[in-house]
Chains A and B, each alone.
Chain A
Amino acid sequence: MIAFIIRRLLQSLIVMLAVALVSFSLFRFVGDPIASMVGQEATLAEREALRQQLGLNDPFVMQFLGFIGRAIQGDFGISYRLQQPVMELILSRLPATLELALISGFFAFVFGVAFGVYTALNRRGWLSNSIMTLSLIGVSLPTFLIGVLLIWVFAVELQWLPSFGRGETVWIGDWWRTGLLTHSGRVSLILPAITLGLYQMTLIMRLVRAEMLEVLRADYIKFARARGLSNRAVNFGHALKNTMVPVITITGLQLGSIIAFAIITETVFQWPGVGALFIRSVQFVDVPVMAAYLMLIALIFVVINLIVDLLYYVVDPRLRVDRASARH
């Protein structure tokens, strides 16, 4: 077990380094940060001096090693754009993104499973058909368009919900600023959470439905019915339980992509999270922020994968036996 974890951790480290290398080499194609940092009156000599000072003229390898060296010490530098320490910037924006991602992930899971089960059990009902049709819209419409449509209907026409921002926020301790404890914070969360979670919800729903239909045809379900068990016990006690293993895996992994791909939703709703910070940093060629953000996202994916792997190891006894016997 320990050897397994150590091996996994080493692999994660290599993944992080690879991400750093790839993203760092991409930055050279994003553009020249100097152009956005100085005013139009700056002379060519001043531009060159700043470039030299920031180490942008150093060879690629030197820049990369310097970045890794400082990153290990937790120093990601100062944002070119906002002149604040990068780590502090990202940490201050992270709660907004995490709250949005967790809430939308939770709703996607609950509604996805509920709709999935319903449409699997009532395959020909009109309601199932309409849910399936609507879910097609969820998969095929781009997030951007869904967001703008929701704003138009619920903020401009009906004026029920706010169109942008996070509402009032409250500090919990020194690091976490939450919108969940105020009324305006909670209503501000609704539209972005739906926008971000809609795709995941349809994905989970379709997965649950397909798995459920598969399981319902299995012999043990037929046997359970033959034993005279109630519909409820068969559907939920046996069928649903057996469909949940892949669903939970997918949901866990999707959480990573919800955090990483909140960028569009955050931009549309002016949600002050790390995704919006990243997209503006790209426009400005704010290399320190881009580098730190990509490392953070890589870390989130690596950690989630690690946890999933460990859970498999713990949950599934067959895995343990196989590996143990392979070792001997």
Chain B
Amino acid sequence: MSFMTKTGTLRTALMAGVATAAMAFTSVPTDAETLRWARVGDALTLDPHSQNEGPTHTLNHHIYETLVGRAVDGTLTPRLATDWYIHDEDDTVWVFEIREGVTFHEGQELTAHDVVFSLDRARTPPSGMAALHAAVEEVTAVDDYTVHVRLAGPAPLYVQNLTNTFVMSREWAEEHGTETAPNFAAGEEAYSVRNTNGTGPYMLVEREAEERTVLRVFEGHWDDAPQVTEIIYTPISEAATRVSALLSGEVDIVQDVPVQDIARLEQTDGVSVVRGPENRNIFFSYDMTSETLASTNVDDNPFAHPEIREAMALALDRDAIRQVVMRGESQPSAAPLPPFVNGWTEEMHAYDAPDIERASELVSGIYPNGFSVDLHCPNDRYLNDEAICQALVGMLGRIGMNVNLVSQTRSLHFPLIENWETDFYLLGWGVPTFDSQYVFDFLVHTREGAYGAFNGTRYSNAELDAMIQSLATETDLEARDATIAAIWDQVMEDRIFLNVHNQMLAYAMRDGINLDVHPENQPRMTSVTFD
């Protein structure tokens, strides 16, 4: 029987690490700063390309690095690529200049060949990142520090798709037989699920999935040394426990603060809360195209009438939802687009005050006795999603719409939209590329091929489809922005979305710790500073 204290060895290793760090860089604080970080869920895997999922990327950003990074204001920053531009002679080719002198945690030198390997791995199924690289035809290394990515056509915004595509070592992947992303169906666990070798600022020390993950600063990292030298990451799924752990001093930062606790935490001594807008809009949408609806008691499709869609917009009291349901923690707007995304304008943001009288007239003009319809809503996906739906049911009840709320878990809700089995639903949408095209591709374009996967409205406008497709290849950014504005005008005029608000994020932390809210909810512990 062998006894071994895991934390014992960890501590020894840590001290050794700190000692070497102190010898190597005098700028590193001599006392190790440990940051205990809690959020609701754990990363699903440590494989860099397997899952396209927020918490997974957030943790992996500390171990692996991407070519370009996303700053807290939404702009792109150099990471493993020092520069990127469209090729002078061929506008279908993106050129990436790779940073020199970067090493992986296990000592391999980063070259263009690793980048080529990683992009190929990321764009090949079963990688979860493949859809973001669907337009890529070929990735080549021109020399040791230059990579060319050739796309099917001109793609002026392709670089925006790279903020979550990590670079791994080709040599390491080949050595461990993990040249492709893990395959769910293969029935075997891949080496890369629990082992890592990135170029990132932290190295993996210990991981028990869903229990704790310990990261230690990587002394060979190319960038300035972060103030945090050790990260202990613990998922705590229960909201009350998560907040209690912060109040009792067992964790330093809580990432997913429940809305109802924000005000109380702000008044607590020793704890501070930072907030910021998240890149995620919450809106209602409806089948506005079919002849008839399955769940309504009238003979035609009420949502096909522009008057009914207008009436619903007039009945929705966004400010009431903000105050009562969200406790002030939301940004109401008329269009489903966060302010920092390309294509956003003040006019799209502005919404009218509710006018119940006018809305009732519009409804009774077509249906004197009103009508009934089912509303589908998730109850475990977005902040207070079910309560938002309940609020809408009440508001629509006042204008003669008898809405029957069906709220259920996310795994039952989303297939309804995917399979066109819902007439009226709630959906939240984030824009990871920070460009309106992403919204149009998935939500507005007719459902065909890679387009329209979440277009539950069945909306189909050939003219608009052509404009949307042109966005992908238009290299003149001014003309492109004009097209985006034109598409938005049409979308808003047709009232495809009944937008409620943009979600807000809140991080709570011990006083003396500074961390900004990241719009993609991917905070970097390298940016943490201590007072």
Contacts and interface: CB of A to CB of B under 8 A. Distances in A.
Interface size class of A (residues with CB under 8 A): 35 or more
Q: How large is the interface on B (under 10, 10 to 19, 20 to 34, 35 or more residues)?
A: 35 or more
B240 A148 contact: yes
Contacts of B185: 50, 53-55
A168 B45 CA distance: 23
A80 B185 CA distance: 9
Contacts of A276: 210, 237
Given A148-B240, A159-B248, A82 B209 contact: yes
A248 interface: no
Contacts of A75: 187
**Majority secondary structure, B binding face:** loop
Interface in B186-208: 186-190, 193-194, 208
Interface string B275-318: 00000000000000000000000000000000000000000000
Given A40-B454, A170-B3, A280 B212 contact: no
Contact of A155 (B244, B411, B415, B454): B244
A291 interface: no
A50 B245 contact: no
B489 interface: no
Interface string A269-295: 110100011001001110000000000
B184 A83 contact: yes
A290 to B, nearest CB: 12
Contacts of A50: 126, 184-185
A164 interface: yes
B250 A83 contact: no
A267 interface: yes
A170 B188 contact: no
Contact of A272 (B130, B131, B210, B238): B210
A285 B194 CA distance: 22
A72 interface: no
A164 B210 contact: no
Contacts of A252: none
A146 to B, nearest CB: 12
Contacts of A40: 52, 429-430, 442, 453-454
B211 A82 contact: no
A168 B447 CA distance: 52
Interface in A117-134: none
Contacts of A37: 184
3 smallest CB-CB distances across A and B, nearest first, come from A31-B411, A39-B52, A41-B131
Given A49-B125, A80-B184, A270-B234, 14 more contacts: A32-B415, A39-B128, A41-B52, A41-B132, A42-B128, A50-B185, A83-B50, A152-B244, A165-B234, A168-B6, A170-B3, A269-B241, A272-B208, A283-B411
Interface of B: 1-7, 41, 44-45, 47, 50-53, 125-126, 128-132, 182, 184-190, 193-194, 208-212, 234-238, 240-241, 244-245, 247-250, 380, 409-412, 414-415, 418, 429-430, 442, 447, 449-450, 453-454
24 contacts: A30-B411, A31-B410, A32-B412, A35-B418, A37-B184, A39-B52, A40-B442, A47-B418, A53-B184, A75-B187, A82-B45, A83-B50, A83-B190, A148-B244, A155-B248, A156-B244, A156-B248, A159-B249, A164-B236, A166-B211, A173-B1, A268-B238, A270-B234, A270-B236
